[in-house]
Chains A and B, each alone.
Chain A
């Protein structure tokens, strides 16, 4: 298991290298150059050329790429062209905001999705089953931006229960420690602010949770239905076990592997792809950070941002693979 983990971690290196190359060329394929964007439309050609030279963007691509990768190997993610500060210093607050949002969303998606799937399978063809599966279909088909807007309209504007957007109440800002605000406010023992952060988190995380929740519910249901037909489930029933234990112990553990796969993939997607939700809810996350960087042609930020998101994605899926072995004793990694 340890050897397998090490091998998998080492395999990440070529993947990231290939990834960096693709991103490097793709952003340079976008028309426009950073110097022009920074100086504006009316800048003189000389000024643009001077800034391009200053930023090192007039060098041949391979020189730029080797410099970039060389920096990466030393843990240097480059400097933002726009702000001039190191990407490594700048990126964490954004990443933390996205982590907090995606983990909250996944928590909702897993708890609700898995249970809805289980109950639907347990009471197959009941009204609950039909209702849950119709909702799940609606959930996967619903555009997130629309759902987000509706949430704001209903819960923030009409009912005035929750804040419309942002991570915190700007009149009562949070003193960041880890930048995960739920953790920070807990560390500071500030319950008022903790509740505020939680209130800000609810609407965007529910919006973000919808699609994964629906997918998880459907996968859980079909996987459970398959498992509940097995001989060992009949054995468990014949022992005199109640349906609850048959379902939640014997069936769920067997049904969970495909669900884990989906959870891993969806978590990875949320971490990188929450741009829509982050935009609608003015959430200062990594999705918007990279999106804004694209607007400014901020090459180092785009490159490193995407690389970090990709790394997280790969590691989440590694964790899922290791979880398989933890769930199923027949799976051995050698």
Chain B
């Protein structure tokens, strides 16, 4: 391995504390991102993708969401134990984030320049004038025309695609090591989606910024990601490089996801959809969380939680008894946690 893990999540557990008690939204997940890599995190709504990103940023809703276990290592530093002061230095500077809703993610009452320069001036010693020049430079870099004018305009004067470019410019001003993109193209129309994805890919190549691309859109994953992590109900169910996952998906959930992508070459009466719904977090105490929706489920699936089994030595892993190799013992943290629950 010649590349360093820039971000490594180990056994992360994040719970929400509601009137109904503790609800685990993310339950014991492990993954890493290498320097300059684009990692896709895929799953349906409610599977814990966004909670994972908020856990990394330390932006879980105060008093409600809390990391209850595990470590988040950023360049070796454990962010779970970092002080709020240290997190402020990291946020926007070393780990930046862009969000799903470009229409509402910029403050409507401040100019683009004000919001960009703010991001620059928190983390650098640049003067107002220098920060302004830097902001204009960034706006040009993300492909916005008439950057000198846009800088004095308000968000409502820009289109959704332009606003997402501004968001990206804002996230990239300090050239972060990791960019977390939470469904960055979901709210945009298709032509703009492609442009934004290309922009992110270019930035990844030019600045060696690692990107954690959270999405439910497998098209996006195929387009930009190198590796992919599939999440289901707060757990990782499959992990591997993009080609392998698309060509040879192992977990029945991943197979279902790939089947539900419409294919222009085939004329189908009806699109495939996975039967049932994502279970409410915390509702399944025992067994594989996908079992109830799985066509291949057998008794054991309802009794025992499968661990992540290695499929090959290139990092393809899957959480399914169907792929347990002979002689392999199903014993890791996941089971212990499952039994305890």
Contact = CB atoms under 8 A, between A and B. Distances in A.
B92 interface: yes
Interface in A200-224: none
B115 to A, nearest CB: 8
A239 B91 contact: yes
Interface stretch (B8-16, B118-126, B285-293): B118-126
Given A230-B104, A330-B156, A235 B167 contact: yes
B118 A253 contact: no
Contact of B109 (A239, A242, A327): A327
B109 A238 contact: no
A257 to B, nearest CB: 10
A27 to B, nearest CB: 46
B63 interface: yes
A240 B107 CA distance: 15
Nearest to B153: A329
Contacts of B156: 329-330
30 contacts: A125-B63, A231-B101, A231-B104, A232-B104, A232-B108, A234-B99, A235-B106, A238-B57, A238-B59, A238-B91, A238-B96, A238-B97, A238-B171, A239-B91, A239-B96, A239-B118, A240-B89, A240-B122, A240-B123, A241-B88, A250-B107, A250-B110, A253-B107, A253-B109, A253-B110, A254-B109, A328-B108, A328-B109, A329-B156, A330-B156
A234 B59 contact: yes
A130 to B, nearest CB: 14
A236 interface: yes
A241 B118 contact: yes
A235 B123 CA distance: 15
A237 interface: yes
B154 A329 contact: yes
Contacts of A254: 107-109
Interface residues of B, number: 29
Contacts of B204: none
A199 B205 CA distance: 69
Interface of A: 125, 230-232, 234-242, 250, 253-254, 327-330
Given A234-B59, A330-B156, A240 B106 contact: no
B105 interface: yes
Contact of A237 (B91, B118, B123, B167): B91
Given A234-B105, A328-B109, A330-B154, 4 more contacts: A230-B104, A239-B118, A239-B122, A239-B170
B335 interface: no
B97 A330 contact: no
B233 interface: no
Contacts of A231: 99, 101, 104-105
Nearest to A252: B109
A241 B87 CA distance: 10
Contacts of B154: 329-330
Contacts of B123: 240
Contact of A232 (B89, B90, B92, B107): B107
Contact of A238 (B92, B101, B106, B110): B92
B13 to A, nearest CB: 22
A297 to B, nearest CB: 52
A242 B59 contact: no
A280 to B, nearest CB: 42
B57 A236 contact: no
Contacts of A253: 107, 109-110
A253 B115 CA distance: 14
Contacts of A329: 108-109, 154, 156
A15 B145 CA distance: 50
B254 interface: no
B118 A232 contact: no
B108 A239 contact: no
Nearest to B87: A240
From A236, A237, A238, A327, name the one whose CB has the most chain B CB atoms within 10 angstroms.
A238
Interface string B59-92: 1000100000000000000000000000011111
A2 B89 CA distance: 46
A125 B17 CA distance: 15
Given A254-B109, A330-B156, A235 B99 contact: yes
B52 interface: no
B185 interface: no
B93 interface: yes
Contacts of B170: 235, 239
B107 A235 contact: yes
A240 B89 CA distance: 6
